[in-house]
């Protein structure tokens, strides 16, 4: 299997990469996260994902830009019932399409490691995109290794964020002031 692993950030990629390598699954990663805001945070997470990819010796494809204005406009609510569903849909659509167009046999996502994400909604989005593009969705419930992955990230000095990435989750975070202060 040639897998394309969508990665939301370095820390969340650590445990899934460990699993894939221990299972001898050949994979590359894809950075496509236009949901992450502000741009400073988007860049910081990309830099840390590059470090995680280098740690495992994996190729990282980088696509997209920070799209803060789109999120603030809330036009996505015309099609989706929540920002999270839109966010999963947008990222999994790009991942499945990129995988199909670039010769991968399957795709997956590091979003499946987080106990804070909507696991079933991510699976549903991935399955829809797999069907749409005629490519396999490789499902693995990585959540059991979330803490281990976070510890691995800390051990190699990765930045570990305190919110999912979108501008709304930053506004809702109990750590908002601390997060904003770290950006200066």
Tens-digit pLDDT profile for residues 10-56: 999 999 999 999 999 999 999 999 887 788 888 889 999 999 999 99
pTM of the full structure? 0.88
Contacts of 2 (CB under 8 A, 6+ apart): 26, 27, 103, 104, 105, 106
Contacts of 120 (CB under 8 A, 6+ apart): none
- Alpha carbons 27 and 13: distance in angstroms, whole number: 12
Neighbouring residues of 151: CB distance < 8 A, sequence distance ≥ 6 = none
Between 76 and 181, the higher pLDDT residue: 181
- Angle at alpha carbon of residue 173, lines to 47 and 18, rounded to 5°: 40
| CATH fold label, 2-182 | Rossmann fold (3.40.50)
């Amino acid at each position: 299997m040639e897998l394309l692993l969508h990665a939301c950030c370095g820390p969340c990629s650590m445990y899934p990469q460990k699993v894939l390598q221990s299972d001898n699954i050949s994979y590359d990663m894809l950075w496509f996260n236009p949901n992450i805001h502000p741009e400073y945070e988007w860049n910081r997470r990309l830099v840390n994902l590059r470090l995680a990819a280098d740690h495992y010796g994996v190729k990282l494809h980088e696509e997209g830009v920070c799209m803060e204005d789109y999120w603030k406009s809330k036009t996505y609510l015309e099609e989706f019932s929540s920002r999270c569903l839109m966010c999963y849909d947008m990222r999994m659509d790009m991942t499945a399409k990129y995988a199909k167009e670039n010769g991968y046999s399957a795709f997956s996502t590091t979003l499946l490691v987080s106990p804070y994400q909507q696991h079933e909604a991510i699976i549903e989005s991935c399955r829809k995109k797999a069907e749409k593009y005629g490519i396999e969705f490789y499902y693995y419930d990585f959540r059991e290794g979330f803490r281990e992955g976070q510890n691995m990230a800390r051990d190699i000095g990765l930045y570990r964020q305190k919110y999912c990435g979108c501008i709304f989750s930053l506004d809702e975070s109990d750590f908002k002031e601390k997060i904003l202060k770290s950006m200066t």
